[in-house]
Amino acid sequence: MLLPLLLLACLAPSSFSSVQLTSLPKLSYLSVEEPSTILVSPDKSFSAGFYRVGTNAFSFSVWFSNSGNKTIAWTANRDFPVNGYRSKLTLRSDGVMALTDADGTAIWSSATTSSGADHVRLLDTGNLVVEDPNGRILWQSFDFPTDTLLPSQPITKNIKLISAMARGSSSSGYYEFHFDDSNVLRLTYNGPTVSSVYWPDPDRTVWKNGRTIYNSTRHGVLDETGLFFSSDRLRFATSDSGSSRIKRRITLEYDGNLRVYSLDDQTGLWTISWQALPETCQIHGLCGQNGICSSYPKAHCSCPPGFELMEPSNWVSGCQPRFNLTCQMKDEELEFMRLPFTDFWGFDYNATGGTSLNECKNRCLSDCNCQGFSYKQRRGFCYPKSVFFNGRASPYSDIYMKVPKSLAKANISEQNLVCPVDEIIPIGSSPGFTEKSTSSVVWVFFYSFLAVIFVVEVLFIAFGWWFVYRKDKDDRILMAEVYKVISGQFRRFSYKDLEKATRRFKEELGRGGSGVVYKGVLENGMVVAVKKLEEVKQGGEEFWGEVSVIGRIYHMNLVRTWGFCSESSHRLLVSEFISNGSLDKHLFDGHGWLKWEERFKIAVGVAKGLAYLHHECLEWVIHCDVKPENILLDSSFEPKIADFGLAKLLRRGGNGTNISRIRGTRGYLAPEWASNLPITGKVDVYSYGVVLLELVSGRRISGMVMEGEVEMETAVRRTRGVLREKVETGEKGWIEGLVDSGLKGEFDRRQAMRMVEVAVDCLEEERNKRPAMEAVVEMLLSVLGG
Ligand X SMILES: *[C@@H]1O[C@H](CO)[C@@H](O)[C@H](O)[C@H]1NC(C)=O
Residues annotated in a binding site: 532
Q: In what order do the strands lie in the sheet with 561-567?
A: 491-492, 561-567, 570-576, 527-533, 515-521, 508-512
Distance of CA 768 to the CA centre of its chain: 19
Residue whose CB is less far from ligand X, 318 or 645: 318
Are the beta carbons of 30 and 89 closer than 8 angstroms? yes
One character per residue 264-293, x = contact with ligand X (rule: CB under 6 A): ----xx------------------------
Which of 297, 431, 284 lies closest to 343 in space, CA to CA?
A: 284
Binding residues for ATP: 532
Nearest distance from C-beta of residue 405 to ligand X, angstroms = 13
Q: Is 171 in the site for ligand X (CB under 6 A)?
A: no
Which of 471, 435, 432 lies closest to 778 in space, CA to CA?
A: 432
Sign of the alpha-carbon torsion through 227, 460, 557, 758: positive
Taking CB under 6 A as the criterion, which residues in 217-256 touch ligand X? 217, 219, 229, 231
Q: Is 657 in the site for ligand X (CB under 6 A)?
A: no
Are the beta carbons of 71 and 54 closer than 8 angstroms? no
88: enclosing H helix or E strand: strand 88-91
Nearest distance from C-beta of residue 555 to ligand X, angstroms = 30
Whose CB is nearest to ligand X? 68
Q: Is 678 in the site for ligand X (CB under 6 A)?
A: no
Residue whose CB is less far from ligand X, 169 or 217: 217
Q: How far apart (Å, rounded) are the C-alpha atoms in residues 400 and 392?
A: 14
**One-letter amino acid for residue 666 of the chain:** R
Measured from the Cβ of residue 411, the count of other Cβ atoms closer than 10 Å reads 10
Which of 390, 367, 385 lies closest to 198 in space, CA to CA?
A: 390
Q: How far apart (Å, rounded) are the C-alpha atoms in residues 417 and 544?
A: 31
Nearest distance from C-beta of residue 651 to ligand X, angstroms = 17
140: enclosing H helix or E strand: strand 137-140
Q: How far apart (Å, rounded) are the C-alpha atoms in residues 581 and 603?
A: 16
Stretch that binds ligand X, among 101-109, 305-313, 322-330, 646-654 (CB under 6 A): 322-330
Q: Is 100 in the site for ligand X (CB under 6 A)?
A: no
Q: How far apart (Å, rounded) are the C-alpha atoms in residues 33 and 284?
A: 41
Among 134, 313, 324, 675, binds ligand X (CB under 6 A): 324
Stretch that binds ligand X, among 17-25, 212-220, 375-383, 593-601 (CB under 6 A): 212-220
Q: Is 323 in the site for ligand X (CB under 6 A)?
A: yes
Q: Is 163 in the site for ligand X (CB under 6 A)?
A: no
Residue whose CB is less far from ligand X, 119 or 322: 322
Stretch that binds ligand X, among 95-103, 194-202, 316-324, 575-583 (CB under 6 A): 316-324
Q: Is 411 in the site for ligand X (CB under 6 A)?
A: yes
Q: How far apart (Å, rounded) are the C-alpha atoms in residues 599 and 273?
A: 38
Stretch that binds ligand X, among 37-45, 318-326, 733-741, 764-772 (CB under 6 A): 318-326
Are the beta carbons of 89 and 29 closer than 8 angstroms? yes
Nearest distance from C-beta of residue 312 to ligand X, angstroms = 15
Which of 782, 350, 387 lies closest to 607 in space, CA to CA?
A: 782
Q: Would residue 625 show up in a list of annotated catalytic residues for this protein?
A: yes
In angstroms, what is the C-alpha Rg of the chain? 30
Nearest distance from C-beta of residue 229 to ligand X, angstroms = 6
Q: Is 358 in the site for ligand X (CB under 6 A)?
A: no
Q: Is 350 in the site for ligand X (CB under 6 A)?
A: yes
Q: Is 215 in the site for ligand X (CB under 6 A)?
A: yes
Residue whose CB is less far from ligand X, 85 or 323: 323
Residue whose CB is less far from ligand X, 140 or 267: 267
Nearest distance from C-beta of residue 80 to ligand X, angstroms = 23
362-387 burial string, b = 16+ CB within 10 Å, else e? ebbbeeeebbbbbbbeeeebbbbbeb
Stretch that binds ligand X, among 280-288, 319-327, 516-524, 527-535 (CB under 6 A): 319-327
Please tell me the number of Cα atoms within 13 Å of 720 on its side-chain side: 22
Nearest distance from C-beta of residue 230 to ligand X, angstroms = 6
Residue whose CB is less far from ligand X, 269 or 468: 269
Q: Is 85 in the site for ligand X (CB under 6 A)?
A: no
Q: Is 69 in the site for ligand X (CB under 6 A)?
A: yes
Residue whose CB is less far from ligand X, 22 or 362: 362
Residue whose CB is less far from ligand X, 268 or 513: 268
**Maximum CA extent, the chain:** 98
Please give the backbone phi and psi of residue 439, each rounded to the nearest 5 degrees, phi first.
-80, -5
Q: Is 363 in the site for ligand X (CB under 6 A)?
A: yes
Of 343, 398, 497, 625, which is the active-site residue? 625
Nearest distance from C-beta of residue 780 to ligand X, angstroms = 31
Residue whose CB is less far from ligand X, 67 or 582: 67
Q: Which residues contact 717 (CB under 8 A, 6 or more apart)?
A: 763, 765
Residue 671 DSSP label? G
Among 68, 133, 590, 703, binds ligand X (CB under 6 A): 68
Stretch that binds ligand X, among 275-283, 321-329, 431-439, 507-515 (CB under 6 A): 321-329
Residues binding ligand X (CB under 6 A): 68-69, 215, 217, 219, 229, 231, 268-269, 322-324, 350, 363, 411
Residue numbers annotated as active site = 625
